[in-house]
Structure 1
Amino acid sequence: METDGTYESRDTRGGAVPRPAGFTGDPGATASGPAGEPAAGRPASGGQQPSAHPAGAADRPVPPASPVVPRTRSVVPPPPAHAPTRVGVAEWLRIPRPAAEPGVWRLGHRPRPQEEPDLVPARRLFAGAVISLLSGWLLWSLLWNGYLGRYWLWPLLVLTPDSWRTDAETWATASYAYYTLVGGGFLVFFARIGHVPDIWRRYAHKKDAPPPPPSPAADPVDWPELRDAGLTEAAGTLADATRRGTLGDVDYARIRRAWHGVRTRPERLAAFTEAVRTRGAAACGHPSGVRDLPVRSATHDLATAQVLIGTAADHPRNPYARRTTGVALEPGLLGTSLLAVGPAGAGKTVRLVRPVVESLCLQALANRAAVVAVTSHGPALGPDESFDVVVSVGRPDSTHDLDLYGGADDPDEAARILAEALVGDLVADSRRAATALAQLIGPFRAAHDRFPAVPELRELLGGTPAALDALRAAVGDDPAQLRELDARQRQAARGDDVGELLAERIAFLDRPAFARFFRTDGETRQFSLHAVEHPLRVRVDLPERGHAEASRIVSRLLLAQFSEAILARRDRSLFACLVLDDATYTVTGESVRSVQRLRSANAGVLLALRSLEDVPEALRGPLLGAVGCRMAFAGIAPWDGGRFAETWGTEWVQTRDVTNRQIISDEPLTKALHFMRRVVTGKAATAEAVTVREVERQRWSASDLAHAVPAGHAVLSLTHVRGEHTPPLLVDLRS
């Protein structure tokens, strides 16, 4: 059955999708087929894996843990002692998720009023209540004791028959009932005058009332969409797994993704039904067979594809409706790309990059996304078991090599990508460099049916006579390729030839540490960015220690390859994201233009920088304009803050100017009173003049961003791919 490659098992270049790093499980456990066809290996089995969450998350609903299939023999670290108890899957699904503005954590969200209510101060509120109730008690006492006459009893005399007054017991019952009615009316009347209901709502009313249970027809636990489509048996199987807790949040998201695929491709219905019948909660599995991450460090909601990164601070700069609400990221926001700037130690990796990577890995297991995370060597973004592919550049224990040419077959395309990586940060236009590379790698591929390796390319760019003569001999009598070599030879004789610069840059990759990397002879397992057509989890570790320039070249190479692969995808239903934990000297003019085009291809990038000074000055403004989400961490420099302030613009605010002027009087009595007031208070008698006006002010000034953002906080503005956007918010990343 044709599936457009959505669920087939493939490798990073078109063979088979690799297992998670460190995978030592049953080699027969293969991926699911179209729309989740049963795997050939034995089905996945149970086991609940606890997950870690940051302190302070216990006040919000916590999604359930998904059953984890043991796939490695490595020891998974236990969760911290403060990890909150997870709710069951059924209870998690029933938590309301109302529609909200972009970036609002929707799980259990309660909308706030748009403006702050004009609350009466507590002291005045209680004083008024006491005075009102005392007044009511005094009036009741006067009536009860007859000091105001007996006229208030006439309704009782009018509404009761004369026979009741002759019967003492009946009359006493009617009288006390009347007294109770009148006294209750007095109590309600004076309580409302004294704002007692406001006191009850403010201090005594329980605000966290549980939501009403959903109707049986709309209960998500019963999978109503499948029942409405006539798949009663499949819905019953999944509902039973949900109630027993064997179906986790990743399973729920994965099966819903498969069901949506069935609705658009009805020919997959039979395979979907069979997979649910035979495998239950493990149906439609990820090609790796894994159903959850070994450990979680953030709070996720797979039903909305959100990850919680903090709380909007209760600060006057934040709109009242957003204060104290959760702030979350999702593919719809990351699809406009995100730029985060903050000094070392500000929390970019721990509080932003790792939660986002973790969320994308979970969505990849749900067959919803593909993620490529680039970082320095180490488990800063998650353990090896959380990824399908781990490329450790320069380390002998790496299981995969990196394709230098990005899996391209066209020499011009390969030359364009490589030129961007080698000299994109030095030249404004890399087309000359791409032409020089194409004049060499084109003939080399025609002669050897492969692209040149790094040492071979360095010799050709350096103009080594033996290498050029050998290539010319290998080409033979092909006039097109000889013409390319002749053109390269003529350009090499010019004083401004870009070949020397390319040779100097490629030398950073021609080091003993990278001897087994970037090979083109097919002897290593290579990873290509064209694999983002599949729900892969990839981590690339850069050799930053001792090879800083090589790391930057690889980062630019990955960014260029990612942009090229994304724009060439046939199926764009899978969200793809490239995460650069350190994008220093990675941004180029071409990459800025590529970032703008990713939004329409259901993809995005996350770029983390220590300072905008790490970006060429001419590209700082265009970069901030190209991304839809911008984040300034505490401690940024004023000149960086100035760039953000200029991008965020201004807003109209209402200001109050209070002017005090001294009161001067010619009357003797008034003078005496003013003199006594001055003796007692030490201040002259003054009169206040209040002027209210609207002024245009920067949302966040450069000085505020540099000095007024508390530690552990950041200012974040968001834009959704639909066009909705939010003003910059002060976010507490520690809660």
Structure 2
Amino acid sequence: MGLDGTQGRQTEQTRRAVGLPPQRALPFDLAAWAAEPRPEAAPGVFRLGHTPGDPQRAEDAAVPAGPLLLRAALNLVVACIVFLYGRELCLWALRQLGVGAGLGSGQRDLVALAVNVVVLVAVVRFFGRMGRWTEVFRRYVRPVLARTVTHEAPAAEQESAEAPGTTGRSGPADPWQDVRAAAPAAAHRLDAEPVGDVDYVRIRRAWETVLAEPDLLPAFAEQVDARGAAACSHPSEARDLPGRTARHDLLTRQVRLGTAQDVVKNPETHRSAGFALDPDLLGTSLLAVGPAGTGKTARLARPVAEALCLQALSGAACAVVIGAAEADLGPDAWYDVVIAPGDPASPYGLDLYGAAADPEEASARLADALLPEELAARAETSRTALQQVVGPFHAAYGRYPGVRELRALLAGDADAAATLRKALRASGAPAGHEADLLHRERQHGRADDPGTLLADRLALLDRPVFAGCFADGPGARPAFAMRALDHPLRVRIKLPERSHPEVARMLSRLVVAQFVQAAGAREERSLFAGLVVDDASAAVDARTVRGLQRMRGANAGALLVLRTLVDLPEALRAPLFGAVGCRMAFPGIAPWDGRLFSEAWGTHLVTETAVTHTPDTSGGVVRKTGRAARKALSGTTPQTESVTTRDVERHRWSPSDLAHALPSGHAVISLTTVAGDQVPPVLVDLRD
């Protein structure tokens, strides 16, 4: 932003040092970190230590040294001449007007001095601007003065030399200033302990609650006095994540992903600035597309998962992270709940119904997850068949059926149906449930019976390797249900993609559908509900696409990662692009994928210059004879050159650019905030 390449890299290094996690900037200077400037910036700009750029300074910095010094010298010479003759002209004009006729010599000297000052200021302002004297001073004069006069390092080097705990301002601020005024003992206890960024944000959130409800002040003071920096901690008692790698600013809830490149295609507000995501952007959901090996997991999914987990520890978010068991989405220590179907060591299971209060809705979600994409046409009849079984079972027993029980009822097992019918009569359930059972029994054996299809799909889950994973029978593990999104939980779901790929696809569809449903139905929406899906190729259906749009108003959002849009049904591709607010393309995407990105990002006006060469036929006999002689000697025909400049509409990023021109380690991303502010596509270096 307003800096040349070298200075931009130095500034980014300084910002990076300030934004390091506390484990890597020991000792962590809380006061300096909290007082570090975070100016308002465009969406996607990493605000910690950000310096808004000056477009004029950026233009000056782009001028090479030779032309810059030559123009400055020429303007200096002209300025001196204009000053000498201009002051004489002004004094002559004053004498002609009779100014100073009755003044003494001392007063006339003051008038002459005033004229000199006015002319000098005008000359310096006019010719200094044309000659870019400010840029010359910044590049060459200030470093010399800093070394020879003040014996201090130049500003750029001084910034780089500053420790991460210094602000470069008037001094570190008191991070507990308002707490100290109301609870001095609590502030004194916090001063005596090392406090990390997660601790600070978590305690600040608790303090904001105290400000809203002053009656909680004694409890807050007692908690801080007893536990110090561990006060108001997360239920897991964790105060940080082991092995943090990304750069975070928890005060603004941003995670830095890279650096926006200083190229013409990028908006001026983002050039050379750090690029970051926050809940205000993730709340509109982000779709990222790129082939394997382009860094989608390591440079996007993992940092976002890390940020959501840190925000959960500070009491500001809940996170659900879905991916293959071998995907690098952080160690298990990052999460409170780890669900690994097929792994005997997995401590938690998964509630297939998401603990939904409505059996009809729970059945519909499960039916959609069970059906493969090629059988989506039978979705409606499958939902009805499942509802005809789940509803009566829930009415009879007050719970949802397990995998084996549900499979038996759908397959038409006579004993299972008779037992359920007796339980219905004993419970006094409405007669409509028994009618549903009778209708289900009449459908059994028909060629188009969806119950048989569903039973076959459930057979994939009714395997010994998944025993206890889905809250089915004795020995079942504690089941995680999506109703827990009201709490700052960190959940990791490891899908068995290698050993049981079809089960992984079914569970991916089920969990994403449950998340979308639960996020929109939450009563407590102060927590940001974040979903990260490392491979969403099997997780997206029409209901999910509609749910993504509703999540914007529910303080929730999703990060969906795809290898290619071809993995989705064609009917879902355009609606998915319309449902998400942020879109990200990685290098090497297919041209047909790039076409959707290009169309979504639209066009803009660019200035196009066309040069036309035509044979020169002007002039009289002498000029024509000269041209004929020149052609005979050189073998070339003299031509005239005409230049035409016009504004034309061009794609911001063409499919060919996205498919072939993106360098490795980069990505192009467009942003939309929950409030509707938009940022055109930005080229980002994810390695920096």
1:285 and 2:233 aligned:
yes
How far apart, CA to CA, are the structure 1 residues paired with 2:372 and 2:132? 69
1:488 maps to 440
Cα 1:432–1:85 shift into 2, 3 Å: same
User: In the alignment, which residue of structure 1 is the partner of 2:67?
Assistant: 124
CA contact (8 A) 2:19 2:247 kept: no
Is 1:650 equivalent to 2:593 in the alignment?
no
| Aligned partner of 1:471 among 420, 426, 430 | 420
Instruction: State the distance in 1 between where 2:661 and 2:355 align.
Output: 48
Deviation at 1:396, TM superposition (A): 0.2
* Aligned with residue 394 of structure 2, among 430, 434, 445: 445
- Counterparts in 2 of 1:476 and 1:226: CA distance versus 1, 3 Å: same
Q: Check whether the contact 2:581–2:673 (CA below 8 A) recurs between aligned residues.
A: yes
Aligned to 1:112: 53
CA distance in 1, matches of 2:630, 2:239: 77
Residue 387 of structure 1 deviates from its aligned partner by 1.1
Superposed displacement of residue 689, structure 1: 2.8
Matched, 1:363 2:315: no
Matches within 5 A, 1:248-263: 248-263=196-211
Aligned-pair CA distance for 1:463: 1.6
Deviation at 1:306, TM superposition (A): 0.4
Partner of 2:469: 517
Instruction: Give 1:103 deviation, angstroms.
Output: 0.6
Aligned to 2:672: 719
Q: Where do residues 79-158 of structure 1 align in structure 2 (5 Å cutoff)?
A: 88-113=29-54, 117=59, 121-129=64-72
Among 339, 353, 364, the alignment partner of 1:391 is 339
Query: 1:377 is matched with which residue?
Result: 325
How far is the alpha carbon of 1:114 from its aligned partner? 5.2
Letter in 2 for 1:727: P
Is the 2:339–2:494 contact (alpha carbons within 8 Å) kept by the matching residues of 1?
yes
Of residues 653-662 and 575-584 in structure 1, the stretch that sits farther from structure 2 once superposed is: 653-662
How far residue 623 of structure 1 moved from its aligned partner, in angstroms, is 0.6
Matches of 2:361 and 2:136, distance apart in 1: 71
Matching residue of 2:501: 548
Q: Secondary structure at 2:15's aligned position in 1?
A: coil
CA drift at 1:476: 3.8
User: How far did residue 125 of structure 1 move?
Assistant: 2.7
C-alpha distance in 2 between matches for 1:623 and 1:331: 20
Report the Cα offset of residue 257 of structure 1: 1.4
Aligned to 1:23: none
Deviation at 1:686, TM superposition (A): 4.8
Specify the alignment match of 2:151 in structure 1.
none
AA partner of residue 402 (structure 2): A
Aligned to 2:269: 321
Q: Secondary structure at the match of 1:570?
A: coil
Please say if residues 387 and 539 of structure 1, whose CA atoms lie closer than 8 Å, have aligned partners that are also in contact. Answer: yes
Q: TM-score, normalised by structure 2?
A: 0.82
Change (3 A) 1:286 1:650: same
Deviations 1:54-97 (A, max 9, x none): x99744243577778xxxxxxxxxxxxxx777862222222211
**Mapped contact 1:360–1:370 kept (Cα < 8 A):** yes
Q: In 1, distance between residues paired with 2:188 and 2:28?
A: 22
Paired with 2:572 and 2:80, the residues of 1 have a C-alpha distance of 75
TM-superposed deviation, 1:682: 8.8
Cα contact 1:286–1:367 (8 A) shared by 2: yes
Q: For residues 636 and 517 of structure 1, what CA distance do their matches in structure 2 show? A: 37
Spell out the pairing of 1:264-343 with structure 2 (5 A cutoff).
264-343=212-291
Letter in 2 for 1:127: L
The answer as to whether partners of 2:242 and 2:334 remain within 8 angstroms in 1 is yes
Residues 67, 291 of structure 1: 8 Å contact kept:
no
8 Å CA contact retained: 2:403, 2:462: yes
**C-alpha distance in 2 between matches for 1:86 and 1:656:** 57
Paired residue secondary structure (1:608): strand
Q: 1:423-481: per-residue Cα shift (whole Å, max 9, x none)?
A: 27432584432221121122223444432221221222122333323333443465333
Change (3 A) 1:709 1:569: same
CA distance, structure 2, for counterparts of residue 249 and residue 669 of structure 1: 83
RMSD across aligned positions (CA): 3.5
Q: Percent identity?
A: 49
**Of 135, 140, 165, the match for 1:198:** 135
| Structure 1 residue 377 displacement after superposition | 1.1
Q: Deviations over 1:212-259 (max 9, x none)?
A: 86678xx6534333356x334434443x25xx6x01111111111112
Equivalent AA in structure 2 for residue 654 of structure 1 = T
1:702 shift after superposition: 1.4
Contact kept, 8 Å, 1:563 with 1:594, in 2: the verdict is yes
Change (3 A) 1:266 1:438: farther
Counterpart amino acid of 2:643? V
Residue number in structure 1 paired with 2:6: none
1:671-709 Cα shifts (integer Å, max 9, x gaps): 798799989999765544332222122221212111111
| Structure 1 position 569, deviation (Å) | 1.6
Report if aligned partners of 1:309, 1:328 keep a CA contact under 8 Å in 2. yes
Pairing 1:20-99 to 2, within 5 Å after superposition: 58-63=13-18, 88-99=29-40
- Paired amino acid for 1:397: A
Q: Distance in 1 between matches of 2:491 and 2:482?
A: 10
The answer as to whether partners of 2:31 and 2:175 remain within 8 angstroms in 1 is no
Task: Sort the Cα spacing of 1:570 and 1:267 in 2 relative to 1 into closer, same or farther, 3 A.
Answer: farther
Selected match of 2:491 from 538, 542, 546: 538
Counterpart of 1:60, as a letter, is R
Structure number with the higher helix fraction is 2
Tell whether the 8 Å contact from 1:255 to 1:283 is kept in structure 2 after alignment. yes
Distance 2:585 2:312 in 1: 28
Secondary structure of the corresponding residue to residue 39 of structure 2: coil
- Residue-by-residue CA offset, 1:642-681 (whole Å, 9 max, x unaligned): 1111211222222222333454454677679879998999
Q: Secondary structure at the match of 2:524?
A: coil
Residue 636 of structure 1 corresponds to 589
Supply the distance in 2 between the matched residues of 1:86 and 1:668 (Cα, whole angstroms).
Answer: 87
1:281/1:668 Cα in 2 relative to 1: closer, same or farther (>3 Å)?
farther
Answering whether residue 654 of structure 2 is matched by residue 701 of structure 1, we say: yes
The letter of the residue matching 1:575 is F
1:409 to partner: Cα distance: 4.0
- Counterpart amino acid of residue 713 in structure 1: H
Alpha-carbon distance in 1 for matches of 2:553, 2:457: 33
Distance in 2 of aligned mates of 1:273 and 1:572: 27
2:47 is paired with a residue of what secondary structure?
A: coil
Distance 1:369 1:90 in 2: 25
Q: Which moved more, 1:246-255 or 1:683-692?
A: 683-692
Give, in angstroms, the shift of residue 494 of structure 1.
4.5
Deviation at residue 732 of structure 1 after TM alignment: 1.1
Shift of 1:351: 0.3
**Kept after mapping to 2: 8 A contact 1:62/1:87:** no
* Contact 1:364-1:370 at 8 Å conserved across structures: yes
1:279 Cα deviation from its structure 2 partner: 2.2
Query: What is the one-letter code of the residue matched to 2:59?
Result: P
Q: How does 1:548-567 map to 2 (within 5 A)?
A: 548-567=501-520
2:384 maps to what in 1? 435
2:286–2:559 contact (8 Å) kept in structure 1: yes
Q: Distance in 2 between matches of 1:710 and 1:307?
A: 23
